[in-house]
Structure 1
Amino acid sequence: MTSVAGAAQTTVWRDRRAVALLMAATLTVMANATISPALPGLQRLFADDPHAAMLTRLLVPAPSLSIALLAPLAGLAVDRLGRRFLLLAGILLFVVSGSAGLYLPDLPTIFLSRIVLGVAVALIMTAQTALIGDYFSGETRTALTGLQISARNFGGLLFILLAGSVAAISPRLAFGVYGLAVLVLPLTWMTIVEPRRTSPKQQSGQETRTGDGAHWRLPFLGLVALQSMTNMFFFIMPTQLPFFLDAQGFHSATLTGMTLGVLMLTGGCLALLYTRIQCAINYAGVFALGYAAMAAGFLLLVLSPPVFLSFAGAASIGAGYALVSPTFVALTLHLAPPHRRGLASGILTASVFIGQFCSPLLSTPAVSGFGYDGLFLGVVVVLTTMATAALSSTVMRSR
């Protein structure tokens, strides 16, 4: 199994289409978490705005609102209008809307630019995921889903560290990092070609053969709900961690960037091993291990203030999230028939960002009522329950 997994990863790295798709994957992390180190500075910069405390927290998940609403429609467009055009359009829109915070005058208009950024991410993610399903299959596809998470994390590491550094000069400069997305365009333009489209008659035949109904939709909807909850917990890190560290007496955007960098680095490294781990313990085992690691990470945050515990907690959360995230994509591409991949990718993408958008809306009142320790302990209980359920499933199947 190890040799098969290694061969699949080698195949991916030799395919320029795969490299272009992995480069596009880095943009989805940039869309939200990049400006996280700048949040306290932005709140102070716009202190005269009576809603500054909530608006600054919402800037990170703001793209999630438009993605949650538009990703299914983007998925339909990807199925009907083609993958390549919408992927390129999404990258261009990403550059323009992402960097708009450099010059917009106030928090409400910056918030609106983040909403537009979500439209770009919806196009990128749905087209990219559908193309993975179109271009690749079997172990190669599984390897690419793991490497996709690794690319997101390594890209996020680079961009968050860069944003943390420039945010120490001015919080607005963090938005300039989004302009780096223009580097993705040349390779994408040259290597991504539109896959062969199936005719309406062929699509009808595929629906008959695959049982295009509850056969795949019900398990898929279960994955959608679980992924939304997973991302809601994970996104506590970029939305609340800056303020958590600030409350602990660490008033440094650079430190926040370093902590989130540890989150991304650990996740990126572990995602490189995803195919091997999945082959060894199957999908249920991956869920059990991933949720257990996330629970351990939030427990370590409760034991702070030592900075090394915050680093260790972030590393554990990043590792756990990097394990479970590729599984959602791999199972979706396995379940959905080819002519429904765009729609399924759009709905799956929406579930990610629904969870992200809901995260600060639920976690901020929890912090006000129970403090950061109460929030983190509550998350530990839920994640431990999820890990136990997945482990029980694994044990029952082995018997």
Structure 2
Amino acid sequence: MKSVEVSKVSEMSKVSAAMALNGKARTRFLLLLVLASSSPCMALMFTAVGPVLPGLAQHFARGGDGAFAAQLIMTMPGIGIALGGLVTGWAVERLGARALLLGSLLTYALAGFAGFYVDALSVLLFTRLLTGLAAAGCATSTLAIIAQRFEPEQRACILGYQSAAGSAVGLVSLLVAGGVGEAYGWRAPFFLYLLALPVLLVATAVVPAVRSQANAQRPPRQTGHNDRHPLLALLPVYLLIVLVFAAVFMNAVQLSFLLAQSGITSPGVQSWVMATSALACMVGAASYGRVRSWVGDRWIFCICLALMGGGYVLMGSSHLMMPMIVGCGIAAIGGGCVGPYLAVVLLDRAAPSVRGRASGFMFTALYLGDFVNPLVVNPLRASFGIHQAFVLVGAILSFFALVVLFRSAMLHRTSV
């Protein structure tokens, strides 16, 4: 009789252990979904509005230049991200990553949805700025949580999946916003921002309350020194991010001009080429962790630069549709892979006491690259033409890929 009772207790303990493991696995999966949400939030800022820009321009033409107003509505979140990167890094260290993430998701949903009912241009621009600030808060807080709770190898995979999720949501939301906007008007796609509310509910349940880094692991203050020095040491990384993303944004900023110069002026055809770029970017980001485990840290950056350089050279060297699509896809794979690489480099080099600010500044540097792209490419386009500009940018990237390859080979030979 006792043996039967013991066996029942043993079976019950096994069932309880299995349920506990399933609960932990479910919580971990939901946490990863929340951590992957920051890139989709950034993508949605632009893709939800892009297809309805003509409707926005027509609506606000009543009070002035409608096209200019629509462009301001489109670009204002980018300004919010650039400014938010300077603020949210400080906030994540003072308030904690969980509090910043929950507040940012709520602000993102409310400010993003405001476009559905706001009619005054000034108010709409302000809410769009708030949307960008909130997206920066989501990105900084999720990056801080990834840095705090996961080992370097896990970070690489998670950051890759995060970027891939952004590309996937950007592609799908672009199509959804176009269809919804055509059927129900330019205000309808603003409903998409309410998708942040379910993410907020899940985040409330699964995101741990990690203590802030304001006083944790900070070295003692010394005369004539302060905690800015760890950030100053990261300036080369930020400069690299600006330069690399100025090249990454070639597809986003310059692709339509390249296609138009080749006689491909149909918006429908151009959108499919851009969708190919988004899909390839998703593939590159999702495969980053696996490729990194195969080739190692020494070679991954070289591969990214080579893919981008080769893709841009192929795009600029041809006036035919298919080679440009292939080149666009190759470059986008490299661009999707290089984003997680630079994030991993930054997290690995940043001191734990300043990781919050370091993460925030990264997004400022990233969108500064978006701003730098036309400043660099437009003079090249004016002097040599858009095709030659793509070839020159691709050649420069290929040259630096060879430099990185040579340096990696020398370091490998020295270590051996």
- TM-score, normalization: structure 1? 0.82
Question: Greater relative contact order: 1 or 2 (C-alpha under 8 angstroms, separation 6 or more)?
Answer: 1
Deviation per residue, 1:316-342 (Å, 9 max, x gap)? 122001221111111222122223111
SS in 2 for 1:288: helix
| Aligned 1:11-50 pairs, distance under 5 A | 14-38=28-52
Match of 1:376 in 2: 390
1:260 aligned to 2:274? yes
Match of 2:21 in 1: none
Match of 1:189 in 2: 204
| Aligned 1:88-103 pairs, distance under 5 A | 88-102=102-116
Per the alignment, do residues 232 and 110 of structure 1 end up closer, same or farther by CA in structure 2, a change over 3 Å counting? Answer: farther
Q: Give the Cα–Cα distance (whole angstroms) in 2 for the partners of residues 306 and 212 of structure 1.
A: 57
Match of 2:167 in 1: 153
Structure 1 residue runs without a partner (length 5+)? 1-10
Per the alignment, do residues 286 and 61 of structure 1 end up closer, same or farther by CA in structure 2, a change over 3 Å counting? Answer: farther
| Aligned 1:1-399 pairs, distance under 5 A | 14-38=28-52, 60-102=74-116, 111-166=125-180, 173-197=188-212, 200=215, 202-205=216-219, 217=231, 220-246=234-260, 248-303=262-317, 305-360=319-374, 362-363=376-377, 367=381, 370-399=384-413
8 Å Cα contact 2:85/2:361 also seen in 1: yes
8 Å Cα contact 2:281/2:333 also seen in 1: yes
**Aligned length in residues:** 386
Per the alignment, do residues 314 and 100 of structure 1 end up closer, same or farther by CA in structure 2, a change over 3 Å counting? Answer: farther
Q: Give the Cα–Cα distance (whole angstroms) in 2 for the partners of residues 305 and 226 of structure 1.
A: 31
Q: Give the Cα–Cα distance (whole angstroms) in 2 for the partners of residues 23 and 159 of structure 1.
A: 14
Q: CA RMSD in A?
A: 3.5
Q: Which amino acid aligns with 2:361?
A: I
Q: Give the Cα–Cα distance (whole angstroms) in 2 for the partners of residues 49 and 371 of structure 1.
A: 37
8 Å Cα contact 1:164/1:253 also seen in 2: no
Q: Give the Cα–Cα distance (whole angstroms) in 2 for the partners of residues 195 and 152 of structure 1.
A: 25
CA shift, 1:129, in A, is 0.4
Q: Give the Cα–Cα distance (whole angstroms) in 1 for the partners of residues 266 and 57 of structure 2.
A: 14
Larger radius of gyration: 2
Q: Which amino acid aligns with 1:262?
A: T
Deviation per residue, 1:129-184 (Å, 9 max, x gap)? 00111121132222212222222222222222323444566666554433433332
Q: Which amino acid aligns with 1:186?
A: L
CA shift, 1:380, in A, is 1.6
Per the alignment, do residues 297 and 373 of structure 1 end up closer, same or farther by CA in structure 2, a change over 3 Å counting? Answer: same
Per the alignment, do residues 397 and 96 of structure 1 end up closer, same or farther by CA in structure 2, a change over 3 Å counting? Answer: same
Q: Which amino acid aligns with 2:200?
A: L
Quote the sequence identity (%): 27
SS in 2 for 1:203: coil
Larger CA deviation: 94-103 vs 24-33: 94-103
Per the alignment, do residues 179 and 332 of structure 1 end up closer, same or farther by CA in structure 2, a change over 3 Å counting? Answer: same
Q: Give the Cα–Cα distance (whole angstroms) in 1 for the partners of residues 242 and 166 of structure 2.
A: 18
CA shift, 1:247, in A, is 5.3
CA shift, 1:250, in A, is 4.3
Q: Give the Cα–Cα distance (whole angstroms) in 2 for the partners of residues 280 and 175 of structure 1.
A: 42
Q: Give the Cα–Cα distance (whole angstroms) in 2 for the partners of residues 385 and 393 of structure 1.
A: 12
Q: Give the Cα–Cα distance (whole angstroms) in 2 for the partners of residues 12 and 279 of structure 1.
A: 26
Per the alignment, do residues 155 and 123 of structure 1 end up closer, same or farther by CA in structure 2, a change over 3 Å counting? Answer: same
CA shift, 1:289, in A, is 1.0
Q: Which amino acid aligns with 2:209?
A: E
Per the alignment, do residues 380 and 38 of structure 1 end up closer, same or farther by CA in structure 2, a change over 3 Å counting? Answer: farther
8 Å Cα contact 2:316/2:389 also seen in 1: no
8 Å Cα contact 1:12/1:19 also seen in 2: no
Q: Give the Cα–Cα distance (whole angstroms) in 2 for the partners of residues 231 and 389 of structure 1.
A: 18
CA shift, 1:298, in A, is 2.0
Deviation per residue, 1:350-386 (Å, 9 max, x gap)? 1111112333455456545654224323322332233
- TM-score, normalization: structure 2? 0.79
8 Å Cα contact 1:68/1:351 also seen in 2: yes
Q: Which amino acid aligns with 1:128?
A: T
